[in-house]
Amino acid sequence: MTNNEIRFFRIIFIAAAIWNLCGGVLGYFNTGHTFMLLFDRSADDPLLLSVFKGATGTTLTYFIGYLIVAFNPLRHTGIVIVGGIGKVGFAIQMLKFYMTGLANANALIVVVGDMAFCALFLYYFFRLIKTGTKLI
């Protein structure tokens, strides 16, 4: 892989880290407001609020993971595999929430953003495989 490609993927993973930092900080430190933004209802049940806070805490861990990958995109492919699986799963669930009327259109921002990063991650793996880079 060329230096320009590595630089491109570093930028992608820094952007992915920032994307997750924004969602994670908002959801973790202002959980009730974030829940209201996505679902147009308050999370009056403390258990529901706690579970949602845990999900956004996971988003914060992805922030750390993508920063690690940005330092060396050729070495930390396992983090991208796990993060990509998480992004696809979360995007699908948010889309289900939207399609059933449980979430509002703000959920589509999450869906589109996460799926865009998934597409970039697939391109990243395509380039790694094409250049013969060992994945894990």
In the chain, where the domains are located: 3-130
- What are the b/e assignments for 103-131, b being 16+ CB within 10 Å? beeebeebbebbeebbebbeebeebbeee
How far CA 3 is from CA of 8, 58, 121, in Å, comes to 9, 31, 18
CB atoms within 10 A of CB 94: 20
Give the pTM: 0.93
Q: With CA atoms as reference, report the closest residue to 62 among 84, 31, 94.
A: 84
- Residue 102 has phi, psi (to 5 degrees) of -80, -30
Per-residue pLDDT reduced to its tens digit, 89-118: 999 999 999 999 999 999 999 999 999 999
Banded pLDDT at 1 (limits 50, 70, 90): confident
pLDDT band at 67 (very low <50, low <70, confident <90, very high): very high
Please give the Cα distance from 9 to 12 (Å, whole number): 5
Q: Are 52 and 43 in contact (CB under 8 A)?
A: yes
